[in-house]
Amino acid sequence: MQLRVPGPTPCPNEVLQAMSRQMIGHRGKEFGELMRHITDGLKKAFQTKNDVLILTNAGTGGLEAAVVNMLSPGDKVLSVSCGVFAERFADIATQYGAEVDHIRFEWGEASDPDVVRQRLQNNTNYKAVLVTQNETSTGVTDDIASLAKVIKEHDKLMLVDAVSGLGAIDLPVDEWQCDVVVTGSQKAWMIPPGLSMISVSEKAWQAYKEAKMPRYYFDLGKAKTFLEKDQTPWTPAVSLFYGLEAALELMEAEGLANVFARHTKVATTIRSGLKSMGLSLFPKNESIASDSVTAVRVPEGVDVNKLRQVLREDYSLFIAGGQQKLGGKIFRIGHLGWVTEKDAEEILASVKGALPKVGFSPR
């Protein structure tokens, strides 16, 4: 089965092999070396000198950590949203008592930095702004560079959901002054789900000192204290650390710029192949289309569940449907992490083969 959802993503053999290594003690020297090696590799991939912490939980837990370590109940927060995952990020903040204002862009559009600027000019009391690098639900990548510029003009704390983008799509954390950036292991990182990785700037650590939302497992200060001795406060998912070490070595060998270029190339191939079949992309225009996940409008009269079933059963290709109000309206192809041009061509051939069986004749 070719697994092409936007996470979990397939794992290279090097990762699977590494994952089958026997356990070691998480308070011993060997784990310390592993931790140091991984942390160094992550800093390169995050393009940061900030602390990078590794938590044992899914990406949503990483987003929760970003919220509860930086904010206090009652804090005003601005959520910049164009899809499901940005809404989730905002929900977490609301759940912990932040007062969240929303700027909501239409699904399929990108967030407009000028609208954010206007809001920040008129409302000076926001403690933080929540943004999403790559909106997995709509296949749109936001312009984090421009959003960061606006947010930093107003000296606000910037929390970035980069779960499905970081490591696939360029996000130079230090250059763009992103304060907290969260990613998840099962996306661009080519390893199974279970870890989230999170960078924390100096400004964010200042916010941490004042932040009063309750937290225990997700306490980033504890994670930092233990990182100083190359450990984690709670027992880490050791086998995923093995896998991450192997994956980071692969990424380093390829070179980060090449990793990004490969994602762009694969995504371009997929988008142009789908368009040439007569399909329409969901993003309003291609310049905002994500290089890690492609969202495609379901053609009139086609049952997306049937399409996904035919792809699974006849073509061994597993893709995703739409979420929430996009259910039935789009399908999504994940092409991040361990993915090549050849995979892209196979995906296209499968889709082209399946479409006639569900009532659509590709060009």
**Interface contacts to a copy of itself, rule CB under 8 A:** 1, 3, 5, 7-11, 16-17, 19-28, 56-61, 64, 91-92, 95-97, 184, 186, 192-194, 213-218, 233-240, 243, 312, 318, 320
Rounded Cα distance, 328 and 350, in Å: 20
Which lies closer to a copy of itself via its Cβ, residue 193 or residue 362? 193
Rounded Cα distance, 337 and 263, in Å: 8
Q: Using an 8 Å Cβ cutoff, are 230 and 236 in contact? A: no
Closest approach, Cβ 172 to a copy of itself, in A, equals 26
Contacts for 356-359 with beta carbons within 8 Å, 24 or more apart? 357/310, 357/314, 358/302, 358/303, 358/306, 358/307, 358/310, 359/301, 359/302
Rounded Cα distance, 276 and 12, in Å: 30
Rounded Cα distance, 277 and 272, in Å: 9
Which lies closer to a copy of itself via its Cβ, residue 62 or residue 113? 62
Closest approach, Cβ 241 to a copy of itself, in A, equals 9
Closest approach, Cβ 48 to a copy of itself, in A, equals 24
Closest approach, Cβ 181 to a copy of itself, in A, equals 18
Closest approach, Cβ 91 to a copy of itself, in A, equals 7
Rounded Cα distance, 218 and 69, in Å: 8
Rounded Cα distance, 336 and 299, in Å: 25
Query: Bridge partners of 206?
Result: none
